[in-house]
Structure 1
Amino acid sequence: MQERVAVITGGSSGMGLTVTESLAAQGWHIVVLDRSVSETELGPNISPKAVDVTNYNQLAEAFLQTWKAHNRLDFGYVTVFANAGIAEKKPFYETQQPEELLPHPLDMQPLAIDLEAVINTAYLAMHFMRMNQDGKGGCILINSSTAGLYSTPNVPIYCAAKHGCLGLMRALAPQLMGEKIRVNSIHPSVIHTGLMSNKGWSSFPEDLFTPMSKLVAVVNMLIKDEGMFAQSIEVIMDQHFFRKGNEYSNADV
C-alpha cells in the first residue's frame, strides 16, 4: 500500500498537534512544519521540520525536502492542513499616544501567519500535487475559524485574515477541482489551545468550547470523502454545519 503523507503547518501544538497525532495513529507519515519543533518532541511516523511559515524560502524548501523523501503527494491521502495561527496582541482600538501625534504601529504578524503563510502553503501544495505521475491530485485543508464567518470586533486583524482564508478556499476550490485537487476549509469555534492565555480563555463559558475530538472527526471526514470540495464547515461544540457562499446578486455576473 502506498504510504500516506500529510504536511501540517503548526503541527507541534494545539489543533495541529491533535490532527498530527490522529493521522499518525492511522499509519500516515506526517511532516510537521513549525518554528518551535525538534526531532525529539514528536512520535513515530512524524518528521518535524523547524520552519518559519512566514518565510517563503523556508516553507518552499520544506516542501521540496518532503517531495524528495516521498516522491509524491497523493489525492485523498495527503492533506496540507494550513493550521499555524496567532491572534493579535496589540489592541487595535487604543490609539492614544499622549506624547506623540501618531498612534502606535499595528501588529500585522497575525496577517502574515494567518493569511499570507496559508496562501503560500496552498500555492506550494498545488505545485507539488500537480507533479503526481498518476494524476491523483491532492487535498488541501485550510483551518480558518468562526472568525472567518462572523464579525469578531475584539480582534479585527485576525478576523480579516480568517475571512481571507475562506475567500482563498472559495477561489481555489472550483479552479483546482479539475486537476483533482480538493480544497476545503474548516471554521472551529472556541477550542482551548495556546492561542491565548488561560486568563483569556476563562472569559468564555465552558459549555461553548468545542472538543478537539470533534475537530479531528471533521478533518477525517473531509480527508476521506473524495467527493467533498469547496466546503466551508463550521465546527461548534459537538456539531458541524456546512456554510454556503453568497449567491450573485446579478445573474449576469
Structure 2
Amino acid sequence: MEPPFIGKVALVTGAAAGIGRASALAFAREGAKVVVADVNVEGGEETIALCRALNTDAMFVRCDVSQRDEVERLIALAVDTFGRIDFAHNNAGIEGVQAMLADYPEEVWDRVIEINLKGVWLCMKYEIRHMLKQGGGAIVNTSSVAGLAGSRGVSAYVASKHGIVGITKAAALEYARNGIRVNAICPGTIHTAMIDRFTQGDPQLLAQFAEGEPIGRLGSPEEVANAVIWLCSDKASFVTGATLAVDGGRLA
C-alpha cells in the first residue's frame, strides 16, 4: 500500500535533533518530501541524509525563526523547490536558563520569547499565506506541558509555551473555514538534548525525571513525532485548535 503522504510536502523547524529530527523522519516514512530548517547546519544536514535514506526528497535551509527575513526566505525556498507546503511542524525552541523570575536575565528572556513564541508566529504567518493560496494545510506547533501548567525557575520558557497554546487557538479559529487546521502538541519530559543539559549527565537526576512521570519513564522523540503525524493526517480531519499532551499522564 502506498504511504499516505506521497505527493505531500512537510516543513519542520528545529529539525537538527530531538523531536524535530524525529518528526522529519516520521514525515519521510509516510512518503512526504521534507524541508528541514534549523540554525545547526551540521545537524540539519544529518537529518536530511537520514530522510533521503528513507527514499524521499529532502532539503535543508538554515533559518533563525526569530528573524522575519529568514523565515520568509525559508517558506519561499520550500515552495520554489517542492511547489507546496502541506504540513508544517513549528518546533524550534530553546529553554533559556534556570533562574527565579526576579533574577531572570532580561536578554535571555527576550531571546526565549523571540525564538519560542515570535518564531512560531512568524512561521505561521508565512506558512498560512501560502496555504491559503493552495487551498489548505495542517500546522502543528510545539508547546509543552509547561504551556499548560506552571514550573519554577523557567518563567520565560513557561510564558513562551503558554503563548504558543494561545496563538494556536487563535489561528485555528481564524482559518478553520479555509481548510487550514492548527493544533499544538505539549510534550512532557522527553529524552532529548534539552533534558541532558538539565541533568548534566547525572544518572540519578535523570532517574528522578523518569520517576516523576506517572508512566514510569521518559518519553521518546519518536512518540511525540507520532502525535504530530496523526494531527497532520486525515484521521484528525475534525481536530483543530487542540492542545495534545504527550506526557505519560503527567498533567492528569
TM over 0.5: yes
Contact 2:145 2:188 in 1 (8 A): yes
Which of 119, 122, 129 pairs up with 2:121?
119
Range with bigger deviation, 150-159 or 39-48: 39-48
TM-score with structure 2 length normalisation?
Answer: 0.82
RMSD: 2.3
TM-score with structure 1 length normalisation?
Answer: 0.82
Residue of structure 2 equivalent to 1:107: 108
Letter in 2 for 1:204: F
1-structure distance, mates of 2:78, 2:105: 41
Residue of structure 2 equivalent to 1:83: 91
2-structure distance, mates of 1:215, 1:131: 29
Letter in 1 for 2:80: K
Is structure 2 residue 43 aligned with structure 1 residue 35?
no
More helix by share: 2
Residue of structure 1 equivalent to 2:210: 205
- 1:61–1:198 CA distance, 2 compared to 1 (3 A): same
1-structure distance, mates of 2:241, 2:250: 16
Contact 1:233 1:240 in 2 (8 A): no
- Give the match's secondary structure for 1:205: helix
Q: Which runs of 5+ in 2 are unaligned?
A: none
- 1:70–1:192 CA distance, 2 compared to 1 (3 A): same
Equivalenced residues, count: 227
Contact 2:19 2:222 in 1 (8 A): no
Structure having the higher Rg: 1
TM alignment of 1:63-82, pairs within 5 A = 63-73=75-85, 78-82=86-90
Contact 1:90 1:106 in 2 (8 A): no
Letter in 2 for 1:107: V
TM alignment of 1:8-47, pairs within 5 A = 8-38=12-42, 40-41=45-46, 42-43=48-49, 44=52, 45-47=57-59
Residue of structure 1 equivalent to 2:244: 233
- Give the match's secondary structure for 1:142: strand
Shift of 1:216: 2.2
Range with bigger deviation, 145-154 or 43-52: 43-52
Shift of 1:92: 3.5
Structure 1 residue runs of 4 or more that deviate by more than 4 Å after TM superposition: none
2-structure distance, mates of 1:209, 1:131: 40
- Give the match's secondary structure for 2:130: helix
Contact 1:72 1:131 in 2 (8 A): no
- Give the match's secondary structure for 1:131: helix
Question: Deviation string for 1:176-195 (max 9, x for gaps)?
Answer: 01111100011010001122
